[in-house]
């Protein structure tokens, strides 16, 4: 199933500080179970054109940023094609590249995409770590619209992990921030995700008391 994407805006986070460590350390260690050593583009489909566009668009960038941009574009395209494991691998490489470049705005975006793909693949605890790292980057910079997006993504991962009370809290905060930002579309999706998480929590509670 294609992953529903909620990326963060780039270019607003300072690039001269160290990044939150947990998710990047996890990427560096290869701890995520479905990550390959690399991601090969398919012979057909949308990934090759996405790669070509990314290569052309980053001609003047530093090698680390260019590599990260290309890997992130590839990861998104592979996710659209339903190739979750390859998408996760490419996005992991994007996270590492942006960490090495010191570009915290791009790192937040790559962490977000990586977390969404991890959650879509059922690796919700790893996704939680990635989204918490993206959230920390947004909070440090005072980017409350980005914080709202990160909290919505975090809520989805928490719900997938069965941590419904924490998910509800994340969704509640996300809805408030997105409403203030005037992002009605994302606010509506967060509210829908919150209701779905509540329904799942009720089902889980009913299953526990069933004879």
Least Cα distance to 204 among 158, 164, 157, 154 occurs for 164
Which residue carries 């509540």 as its tokens?
A: 198
Q: How far is CA 49 from the centre of its chain?
A: 22
Question: In the prediction, which pLDDT does 42 show?
Answer: 45
Q: What is the DSSP letter of 60?
A: T
Q: How far apart are CA 51 and CA 188, in angstroms?
A: 32
Which residue carries 């012979």 as its tokens?
A: 43
Per-10-residue mean pLDDT of the chain, 211 residues long, equals 38 37 60 39 58 75 90 92 93 96 93 97 97 94 91 97 96 96 96 96 88 70
Q: Percentage helix, strand, coil, to 5, in the chain?
A: 70, 0, 30
Least Cα distance to 204 among 154, 153, 167 occurs for 167
pTM of the model: 0.78
């Amino acid at each position: 199933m294609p992953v529903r994407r909620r990326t963060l805006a780039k270019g607003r986070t300072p690039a001269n500080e160290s990044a939150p460590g947990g998710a990047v350390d996890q990427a560096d260690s290869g701890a995520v179970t479905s990550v390959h050593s690399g991601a090969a583009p398919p012979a057909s489909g949308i990934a090759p054109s996405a790669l070509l566009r990314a290569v052309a668009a980053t001609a003047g960038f530093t090698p680390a940023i260019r590599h990260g941009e290309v890997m992130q574009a590839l990861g998104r395209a592979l996710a659209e094609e339903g190739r979750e494991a390859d998408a996760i691998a490419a996005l992991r490489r994007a996270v590492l590249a942006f960490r090495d470049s010191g570009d915290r705005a791009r790192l937040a975006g790559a962490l977000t995409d990586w977390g969404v793909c991890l959650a879509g693949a059922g690796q919700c605890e790893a996704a939680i770590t990635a989204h918490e790292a993206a959230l920390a980057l947004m909070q440090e910079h005072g980017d409350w619209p980005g914080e709202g997006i990160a909290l919505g993504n975090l809520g989805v991962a928490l719900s997938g992990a069965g941590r419904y009370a924490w998910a509800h809290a994340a969704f509640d905060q996300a809805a408030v921030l997105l409403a203030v930002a005037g992002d009605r579309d994302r606010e509506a999706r967060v509210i829908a995700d919150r209701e779905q998480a509540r329904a799942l929590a009720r089902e889980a509670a009913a299953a526990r008391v069933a004879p």
